Amino acid sequence: MHTLTTIETAHDMYLHLRATLRDVVPDVELRYKAELAAEINVLKRERNAIILGHNYMEPALFHSVADVGGDSLELSRQAATTDKDIIVFCGVRFMAETAKILNPTRTVLLPSAHGGCSLADGITAADVRALRARYPGVPVVTYINTSAEVKAESDIICTSGNAARIVNSLDSDTVIFLPDEYLAGNVAKETGKTLIGWTARCEVHDKFTVEDVANVRAQFPDTVILAHPECRPEVVDVVDFTGSTSAMIQYVERSTAPRYLLLTECSMGDNIAAANPGKEMLRLCSVRCPHMNEITLEETLAALQHLQYVIEVPEDVRLRAHQALSRMLAVT
Ligand code: 13P
Ligand code: SF4
């Protein structure tokens, strides 16, 4: 979580961004973005809106207009409890849908017409029904990176921050765990339970290999390597720490090591570097999430100006998805 930013003048915003991001964003970009960010904060107040920003948001947006920054679990909790009229979700569609499911009387805006995710796009509600028919009585745990329709077919939801805890909370040694093949492998190892999985993968985390880790260790032996649990299990086996995006941020903040490599989306390395000036983040990052990167300051301003893109979830789907999400929030 980071400081609340309510700055409404371009000059003050520029000074704030320069103090925070001078080592990660060029000055000319900071000046331009400060103007947009100040305009957004004025409109945010006038419209009685809250902006939730996922940890993968680009540094200038993350540090200027997001009232709350965090991982999927933290942002779900914020979305569920906010009393603001409008929730602007700077993240991807499944996150904005989750906000609408949990807090249906608010207007939820996604500053992108698409905001997909290869995991959410990798499974349908019909797929879940077919698995239930094949394995009757086996509980279904579904990752939050899924559509509202898929959540509605599930018994309980999990995030990267609580997946093992959710699986352990169930009174069953066999669990259907959807849709991330690698997360299922990692959670199976951690819990010792039998997980019946699916074949979807995160197109970003799929790219990191054991060889990448070995190369960095050979070149920079004092580097602490962190990976998101959407990485392949064999990669998770050889790194120093695995956790949700926020767990990785907290790990770097608490650790005293001089150098880190993050096997996750590139913007997070920039955000962590900005928050930890004395620590070096190895800039070997070449993998960006194209869906998260659709969210820009320009699109966020347009979202507040034109009230776009409004997220709606059919009420019958919402009620069933709400049940699965509430069960998760009760466990954690
Ligand atoms: P977190 O819940 O860890 O923030 O992960 C969300 C995500 O989409 C990672 O790719
Ligand atoms: Fe989906 Fe991967 Fe992008 Fe996260 S990084 S939103 S899991 S495609």
Q: Which domains does the chain have, with CATH numbers?
A: 10-113+292-306 (3.40.50.10800), 120-201 (3.40.50.10800), 205-281 (3.40.50.10800)
For residue 94, give the ligand 2 atom closest to its CA.
6
Query: Hey, how many other C-beta atoms are within 10 angstroms of the C-beta on 43?
Result: 18
Predicted pLDDT of residue 143: 98
For residue 159, give the ligand 1 atom closest to its CA.
2
Residue 179 per-residue DSSP state: S
**How confident is the model over 113-125, as pLDDT tens digits?**
999 999 999 999 9
Q: Which of 78, 159, 203 to mutate to test the pocket of ligand 1 (most atoms within 8 A of CB)?
A: 159
**How confident is the model over 287-309, as pLDDT tens digits?**
789 999 999 999 999 999 999 99
Ligand 1 neighbours, Cβ below 6 Å, are 55, 71-72, 145, 159-161, 202, 228, 230, 244-245
Nearest to 275 by CA among 297, 245, 252: 252
What burial letters (b/e) apply to 174-197, b meaning 16+ CB within 10 Å? ebbbbbbbbbbbbbbebbebebbb
**For the sheet containing 156-158, what is the strand order?**
156-158, 140-143, 174-178, 194-196
Three-state DSSP class for residue 314: coil
Token output for 123: 């499974």
Is the Cα torsion angle 81, 247, 209, 285 positive or negative in sign?
A: positive
Q: Which residue has the tokens 């001078």?
A: 22
Q: Which of 90, 142, 292 to mutate to test the pocket of ligand 2 (most atoms within 8 A of CB)?
A: 292
Token output for 325: 């999400």
Is the preceding peptide bond at 14 cis, omega within 30 degrees of 0?
no
- Per residue of the chain (332 residues), give pLDDT as tens: 454 578 999 999 999 999 999 989 999 999 999 999 999 999 999 999 999 999 999 999 999 999 999 999 999 999 999 999 999 999 999 999 999 999 999 999 999 999 999 999 999 999 999 999 999 999 999 999 999 999 999 999 999 999 999 999 999 999 999 999 999 999 999 999 999 999 999 999 999 999 999 999 999 999 999 999 999 999 999 999 999 999 999 999 999 999 999 999 988 888 998 888 889 998 766 778 999 999 999 999 999 999 999 999 999 999 999 999 999 999 96
Q: Report yes or no: 39 and 301 within 8 Å, Cβ to Cβ.
A: yes
DSSP letter for each residue of 117-147: -TTGGG--HHHHHHHHHHSTT--EEEESSS-
Predicted pLDDT of residue 64: 96
Distance 160 CA to ligand 1 centre (A): 7
Q: Which residues contact 315 (CB under 8 A, 6 or more apart)?
A: none
* Separation between Cα atoms, residue 164 and residue 158, nearest integer Å: 9
> Which ligand is located closest to the Cα atom of residue 246?
1
Predicted pLDDT of residue 332: 64
End-to-end alpha carbon distance in the chain: 18
Ligand 2 neighbours, Cβ below 6 Å, are 92, 117-119, 145, 202-204, 230, 265, 289, 291-292
For residue 243, give the ligand 1 atom closest to its CA.
3
Distance 123 CA to ligand 2 centre (A): 14
Residue 70 per-residue DSSP state: E
Q: Give me the residues paired with residue 177 across strands.
A: 141
> Which ligand is located closest to the Cα atom of residue 144?
1
Predicted pLDDT of residue 284: 67
Q: Report yes or no: 272 and 266 within 8 Å, Cβ to Cβ.
A: no
What burial letters (b/e) apply to 245-284, b meaning 16+ CB within 10 Å? bbbbbebbeeeeeeebbbbbbbbbbbbbbbbeeebebeeb
Predicted pLDDT of residue 287: 77
Residue nearest to atom 2 of ligand 2 (CA): 202
Residue nearest to atom 3 of ligand 2 (CA): 289
Predicted pLDDT of residue 4: 55
Predicted pLDDT of residue 267: 87
For residue 289, give the ligand 2 atom closest to its CA.
3
Q: Which residues contact 26 (CB under 8 A, 6 or more apart)?
A: none
Distance 245 CA to ligand 1 centre (A): 6
Distance 289 CA to ligand 1 centre (A): 11
**How confident is the model over 271-289, as pLDDT tens digits?**
998 888 889 998 766 778 9
